Amino acid sequence: MNNIKKELENQLEVIIALLKTSDKNIRRLENIEIEPVEVVSRNRRHLYYLKEGDKRKYVSGPKIEKVKKIIQKQYEIQANKTLCKLKKELERFLERYDFEEIYKVYDNYSDGRKFMIDPIIEAEEDFIERWYEEHPGGQNSFYGDGLYKTDRGEYVRSKSEKIIADMLYQNNIPYQYEALLELGCTTVFPDFTILDLNTRNTVYWEHLGLASDEEYAVKNFHKLAKYESSNYNLGEDLLITQEAEDMPLDIELVQAKIARLRKRQ
């Protein structure tokens, strides 16, 4: 359950990118000498003065550009300091943060003591076991048995499905082949029903193996629309791969999707 940590890591990337922009902006203004600026607001107008000791000089016309650059540089310096502070705090937090520690509290007990405990959060192996029970595979008997045996031992209907199944298995990603899913009043059998161990969410993977066949394509477009109307979002809850006569399975794309599902340490 590292989704929060992943979000924070993404936030850190944003901060680092902003820091690069901020550093660039400060370099662009390095020749601007910071002078005291006084701003007076009257009747929705802003009046700008450059101060020197107890005196101040009203600035207008083309000279207002100098004031603009002074204030911009002051802002950039303050923003840069804040971003540096946020970066250090987030890096320090991420270095120490490990949600897995809550599982270790239970795991470190002996079996006899575990028997007496109701853990505050279900241990991963127990969660996976229950997930398999709740998502039995091999529910679609309409097309008969598959022809290709996977590394895990079940039979699937195409070589591409075998490739996907084997990669899931090799990466220790829990999955079921052709489990039943209700989409409103429609029953479908996703090619793969997958447990994302990072979020403990169930993800569905549809492989469209005959995308060049018009009837097949139209049927599956309707199916994908049904997923969407049932609040399954493409790229999040629903993953898609496809192939056609002139377009083989994109193995790199499969690897990228597998990497997203792989348990993050």
Q: Answer with the one of 80, 96, 112 that is the final residue of a domain.
A: 96
Mean pLDDT of 11-25: 96
Between 185 and 170, name the one with better pLDDT: 170
* pTM for this prediction: 0.63
One domain, residues 241 and 166: yes
Number of residues that this document lists for the chain = 265
Task: Tell me whether residue 118 is in a domain.
Answer: no
Strands 192-196 and 201-208: antiparallel
pLDDT at 1 over 60: no
Q: Which domain holds residue 59?
A: 3-96
Task: Tell me whether residue 109 is in a domain.
Answer: no
Q: Answer with the one of 48, 67, 96 that is the final residue of a domain.
A: 96
Q: Answer with the one of 79, 96, 113 that is the final residue of a domain.
A: 96
pLDDT at 67 over 80: yes
Place of tokens 């492989």: 207
pLDDT, tens digit, 9 for 90 and up, residues 232-244? 988 889 999 988 7
Task: Tell me whether residue 204 is in a domain.
Answer: yes
One domain, residues 245 and 156: yes
Task: Tell me whether residue 166 is in a domain.
Answer: yes
Task: Tell me whether residue 104 is in a domain.
Answer: no
pLDDT, tens digit, 9 for 90 and up, residues 97-154? 888 888 889 889 999 998 898 888 888 888 999 999 999 998 887 666 778 999 999 9
Strands 201-208 and 238-242: parallel
CATH number at residue 218: 3.40.1350
Task: Tell me whether residue 72 is in a domain.
Answer: yes
Distances (CA, A) of 5 to 41, 90, 91, 230, 263: 45, 10, 11, 28, 13
pLDDT, tens digit, 9 for 90 and up, residues 192-209? 999 998 888 999 999 987
Nearest to 165 by CA among 207, 102, 208, 212: 207
- Is residue 178 within 8 A of residue 137, CB to CB? The reply is yes
CA-atom Rg of the chain in angstroms: 29
One domain, residues 236 and 149: yes
What pLDDT sits at residue 3? 66
- Is residue 34 within 8 A of residue 74, CB to CB? The reply is yes
- Is residue 99 within 8 A of residue 3, CB to CB? The reply is no
pLDDT, tens digit, 9 for 90 and up, residues 35-47? 999 999 988 889 9
Q: Give DSSP secondary structure letters for the chain.
A: --HHHHHHHHHHHHHHHHHHHHHHHHHHTTTPPP--EEEEEETTEEEEEEEETTEEEEE-GGGHHHHHHHHHHHHHHHHHHHHHHHHHHHHHHHHH--TTHHHHHHHTS-HHHHTT---SS--HHHHHHHHHHHS-S----TT---SEE-TTS-EESSHHHHHHHHHHHHTT--EEES--EEETTEEE--SEEEEETTTTEEEEEEEETTTT-HHHHHHHHHHHHHHHHTTPPBTTTEEEEE-BTTB---HHHHHHHHHHHSPP-
One domain, residues 89 and 145: no
Nearest to 51 by CA among 32, 35, 40: 35
CATH number at residue 54: 1.10.287
**Total number of domains in the chain:** 2
Supply 118's token pair: 């109701």
